[in-house]
Amino acid sequence: MLKIANLSAWYGHSHILQGISLEVKRGEIVTLIGRNGAGKTTTLRSIMGLVPKRQGSVVFDGAEILSEPAHKRFHRGLAYVPEERRIVPGLSVLENLRLGIIGSASRSKENERIDVIAETFPRLKQRLTQEAITMSGGEQQMLAIARAMMAEPQMILLDEPSEGIMPILVDEMFELFRTMKAAGTTIMLVEQNVELALGISDRAYIMDQGEIVYHDTAAALLADKAMQERYCAV
């Protein structure tokens, strides 16, 4: 589904990604772990096309997309939920959801999709007319994910979805990721909550200082406390 080879990315003059390679197969959940500043967010932003200076290869669904702008990658079925969630202020929950499909070829299915999403995210269903930024952090995170799912992406990139969210909502959210996987959505996850993330993942990559330093099945990494300590201790 996604194959990255020797990808480098820069912000200004700082060389953030130093030639990383990784692969996510269709239907998998793959987690990217590592300390703050390891380059995890930059990896997701590069996959989505939001880093202006990059080099190497990003192949999605069989096509080289390295030089494509973000909006074209969306049309290929890639979705991205940024760490800051980016719920648009001044808009209602419903309007934020509509934004998720307005730029898509399937926008004629808007109402139908909103019904489906409202069933999947019951917390949002009761709040459709509320101004979105007045909701709690966890509800906003749910909305950000729901918005990204509006256009039925093939693969979704999630950056720190559990950050700053009540534990009960975190469990609900990870349950949702399982459901999304079961429905055929490929997921790439960046998470500080390592145990929880590995618990639902198929495989994981560990990043350090802009490089991939290790990768294994999630189950193996979950058992390997030493490796977790070495690269993920905050």
Partner 1 sequence: MSGLTLELLLLQIVTGVALGSVFVLLAIGLSLIFGMLTIVNFAHGAFYMVGAYMGVFLYGLTKNFWICLVLVPLAVGTIGLVVERFLVRPLYGRNIDDPLLLTFGLGYVFIESIRILFGLNGIPFSTPAGLRGAVDIGIGYFPLYRLFLIGATGMLVLGLWLFIEKTKFGLIIRAGARDPEILKVLGIDVSKIWLLVFGIGTGIAGLSGILAAPLQAVTPEMGIPVLAEAFVVTVVGGMGSLIGAVTAGLMVGIVVAMTSLFMPEMAKVSIFLLMALVLLVRPQGLFGRAGLMG
Cβ contacts of 71 within 8 Å, gap of 6 or more: 103
Task: Report the nearest approach of partner 1 to the CB of residue 227 (Å).
Answer: 33
Task: Report the nearest approach of partner 1 to the CB of residue 177 (Å).
Answer: 19
CA geometry: angle 25, 173, 117, nearest 5 deg: 85
Which residue, 36, 42, 47, 33, is CA-closest to 218? 33
For binding to partner 1 (CB under 8 A), which residues are involved?
Answer: 48-50, 69-71, 74-75, 79-80, 82, 86, 88-91, 95, 98-100, 102-104, 107, 147, 151
- For partner 1, which is the closer residue by CB, 13 or 71? 71
How far, in Å, CA of 109 to CA of 112, rounded?
Answer: 5
Angle of helix 93-102 relative to helix 110-120, nearest 10 degrees?
130
How far, in Å, CA of 174 to CA of 196, rounded?
Answer: 8
- For partner 1, which is the closer residue by CB, 69 or 122? 69
Q: Which two tokens stand for residue 109?
A: 């299915």
> 3-state SS of 83-133?
CCCCCCCCCEHHHHHHHHHHCCCCHHHHHHHHHHHHHHCHHHHCCCCCEHH
Task: Report the nearest approach of partner 1 to the CB of residue 72 (Å).
Answer: 8
- For partner 1, which is the closer residue by CB, 21 or 92? 92
Task: Report the nearest approach of partner 1 to the CB of residue 80 (Å).
Answer: 5
Task: Report the nearest approach of partner 1 to the CB of residue 226 (Å).
Answer: 37
- For partner 1, which is the closer residue by CB, 38 or 97? 97
Q: Which two tokens stand for residue 10?
A: 């820069």
- For partner 1, which is the closer residue by CB, 101 or 194? 101
